[in-house]
Amino acid sequence: MHREILIIDDDEGVAVSLAELLGSKGYETKIVTDPTTALALASSGSAGLALVDLRMPGIGGIELLQAIKSRMPDLAVFIISGYVTVETAVAAMKYGATDIFSKPIKTADLLAEIRRVMSERPVPAAATDAAAIATRDPKMTQALELIARAAPTDAPILLRGESGTGKELAAKMLHRRSRRSARPFVALNCAAISDELLESEMFGHERGAFTDARERKRGLLEAADGGTIFLDEIGEMSLRIQAKMLRVLQDGRFTRVGGVEPIHSDCRVVSATNRDLEAAIKAGQFREDLYYRVAVVDIHIPPLRDRPGDIVPLAKEFLGQFAQRYGKGGLYFSEEVLAVMRGHTWPGNVRELKNFVERAAIFSDGDRVELENVSPQYRTEAKAACEGFRDHLVASAQDAIADALNRAGGSKTKAAQILRIDRKTLYNHLKKSKLG
């Protein structure tokens, strides 16, 4: 079944006509004539495509496009307008529009592009995020309950956990459930770039602030105004930038690099780390006053190995998503693959599991995902586990035979009776194990 197409147009007649056209082609549609309610519907995760009118009262199509893409970056958006200019087309593409159509619409072109886009759409980000942090585990359930309770507040939140546990997904969930959900969600990895570039990216810079600063640049703190900024790996931030970040958390003010004018940003700060920040404080690598600012609510995301009951359900959810994405139909795992997943420790956590499943889905030929479809490293691990289990069985059998012979005073006939096997089977075991 096709996912829903959202039609956002204040002209009800145009919206109804489009809905009738698309409905006749098998698509499900939902009409929104009030653009102020469109964002919530677009963010629900049920739509695969949105058709957005460029000119509407209260909010323009470009502004709505920006808001939609900040919350649902994977949602395809077509801009439709009777007033298409070069400037509006460039702006639409700049802010993430998939295509732009002028009125009166050429229906053949529109339908052809809808068919192409809807066949290629990945699973909506909200659905993927929800799956990646779905759980049956008490520890993860507790973390999700803390997220749900803290989300409506503006309190700074620190998410702790190993790489790949889903800290950014948790941050996005916090944003979607907050009163800031209609505003931007901006993410910055503090460990991925140099100290100088991190400062420029976060706070912005003035023209001439350094050699390559040819023009003024707004930082991500400004871009996140009214929304949420997610500072991943905050434990890698230098002490100098920590001092500037402390002021942001205290009064929402900062200055651009090379600037003197204070700038205010009303953004919520959600941070994440896989480091032991308490140890970093003792080592003089992290400011204690900043720690207490960012960790008003401290939430631990447990590693996947600590919630083994989630491994197979998560894998099956991912498999359904990738089967849909790659047109594979109803894929399912063989028992051998399920055994591999249950036995692996998943040091890369949910991220590793998701990659494992995607690779297996891509290389599967039939409906069943076989061991040969998974990455070679996991096949080698499975073989080693089988050999180890076989060696364990052999050792256990040898111990049982030696114990029976001891109890039987060395009599093989009595030992076979104790073991409840015939003498020939016992002799074969003795020959192989060299106990006889």
With a cut of 50, say whether residue 415 has pLDDT above it.
yes
Q: What is the mean pLDDT of residues 425-429?
A: 74
Q: d(Cα 415, Cα 386) in Å, to the nearest integer?
A: 29
Q: d(Cα 269, Cα 247) in Å, to the nearest integer?
A: 12
Paired sense of beta strands 204-205 and 217-218, if any? antiparallel
120 or 234, greater pLDDT? 234
Asked if residues 162 and 349 have their Cβ atoms less than 8 Å apart, the reply is yes
Q: What is the mean pLDDT of residues 256-264?
A: 86
For domain 305-374, the question of CATH label 3.40.50.720 is answered with no
Q: What is the CATH number of domain 4-121?
A: 3.40.50.2300
Give 302-305's long-range contacts (Cβ < 8 A, gap of 24+).
302/137, 302/139, 302/140, 302/143, 302/161, 302/165, 303/161, 303/162, 303/165, 303/346, 303/349, 304/164, 304/165, 304/346, 304/349, 304/350, 304/352, 304/353, 305/345, 305/346, 305/347
What pLDDT is attached to residue 39?
63
288 or 136, greater pLDDT? 288
The full 3-state SS of the chain, as one line of letters, equals CCCEEEEECCCHHHHHHHHHHHHHCCCCEEEECCHHHHHHHHCCCCEEEEEEECCCCCCCHHHHHHHHHHHCCCCEEEEEECCCCHHHHHHHHHCCCCEEEECCCCHHHHHHHHHHHHHHCCCCHHHHHHHHCCCCCHHHHHHHHHHHHHCCCCCCEEEECCCCCCHHHHHHHHHHCCCCCCCCEEEEECCCCCHHHHHHHHHEECCCCCCCCCCCEECHHHHCCCCEEEEECHHHCCHHHHHHHHHHHHHCEECCECCCCCEECCCEEEEEECCCHHHHHHCCCCCHHHHHHHCCEEEECCCHHHCHHHHHHHHHHHHHHHHHHCCCCCCEECHHHHHHHHHCCCCCHHHHHHHHHHHHHHHCCCCEECHHHCCHHHHHHHHHHHHHHHHHHHHHHHHHHHHHHHHCCCCHHHHHHHHCCCHHHHHHHHHHHCCC
Residues carrying CATH 1.10.10, the chain = 379-433
Q: What is the mean pLDDT of residues 282-310?
A: 95
5 or 296, greater pLDDT? 296
What pLDDT is attached to residue 383?
59
Q: d(Cα 273, Cα 231) in Å, to the nearest integer?
A: 9
**pLDDT tens-place string over residues 78-115:** 888 777 677 777 777 777 888 888 878 888 888 888 88
User: Which of 138-142, 213-217, 267-271, 329-333 has the largest mean confidence?
Assistant: 267-271
With a cut of 70, say whether residue 433 has pLDDT above it.
no
Count other C-beta atoms under 10 Å from residue 90's C-beta: 11
What pLDDT is attached to residue 297?
95
**CB proximity list for 141: less than 8 A, separation 6 or greater:** 135
What pLDDT is attached to residue 44?
55
For domain 138-301, the question of CATH label 3.40.50.300 is answered with yes
Angle in degrees, CA 40, 231, 192, rounded to 5: 120
What pLDDT is attached to residue 125?
47
Residues carrying CATH 3.40.50.300, the chain = 138-301
> How does residue 2 score in pLDDT terms, banded at 50, 70 and 90?
very low
**pLDDT tens-place string over residues 112-146:** 888 887 766 544 445 555 556 668 788 888 998 89
> How does residue 378 score in pLDDT terms, banded at 50, 70 and 90?
confident
pTM flag (> 0.85): no
Pick one of 2.120.10, 1.10.10, 3.90.320, 3.30.70 as the CATH number of 379-433: 1.10.10
Retrieve residue 403's tokens: 């114990």
